[in-house]
């Protein structure tokens, strides 16, 4: 599925993500895999194997779409889903005071 990236939102990149860029590498390849994350993003051209470093926002500018997402992305999505589930799971405080149980257990009839 194609997710539309908000141009202003920081791009989430993960190791192993496979990207398709707008302009081809001189070798003719369009697809790159993320091999390094940091201030600069390390990308390896999957056609010729050449590695480049690009600033994150440059990657964002050149990105056409994600061909596939790496395991890091899957893990992050699972974590987000888990956190959302946890928030939804917060038990609403019960308004009713816990019922006082009157137990007439004094004496043995
Ligand atoms: Zn190349």
Ion ligand 1: residue ranges with CB closer than 5 A = 25, 27, 29, 45, 47-48
The model's pLDDT over 90-102, given as tens digits with 9 standing for 90+, comes to 766 666 666 556 6
Ligand 1 centre to CA of 83 (Å) is: 39
Number of domains in the chain: 1
Ligand 1 centre to CA of 53 (Å) is: 13
pLDDT on residue 105: 63
CA pair distance 31, 67, nearest whole angstrom: 8
Q: Which residues of the chain have pLDDT under 70?
A: 1-10, 91-109
Structural domain includes residue 84: no
Structural domain includes residue 62: yes
- Residue 58's domain spans which residues? 2-70
pLDDT on residue 12: 86
Work out the number of other CB atoms within 10 angstroms of the CB of residue 88: 7
Ligand 1 centre to CA of 44 (Å) is: 8
Structural domain includes residue 22: yes
Structural domain includes residue 60: yes
Strand partners, 52: 43
CA pair distance 46, 27, nearest whole angstrom: 10
Structural domain includes residue 97: no
pLDDT on residue 23: 92
Strand partners, 41: 54
């Amino acid at each position: 599925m194609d997710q539309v990236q908000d141009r202003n939102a920081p791009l989430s990149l993960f190791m192993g993500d496979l990207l398709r860029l707008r302009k081809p590498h001189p070798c003719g390849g369009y697809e790159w895999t993320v091999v390094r994350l940091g201030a600069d993003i390390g990308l390896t051209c999957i056609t010729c194997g050449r590695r480049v470093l690009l600033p994150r926002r440059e990657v964002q500018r050149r990105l056409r779409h994600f061909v596939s997402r790496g395991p890091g992305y899957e893990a992050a999505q699972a974590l987000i889903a888990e956190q959302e589930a946890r928030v939804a799971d917060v038990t609403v405080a019960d308004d009713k005071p816990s019922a006082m149980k009157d137990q007439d257990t004094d004496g043995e009839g």
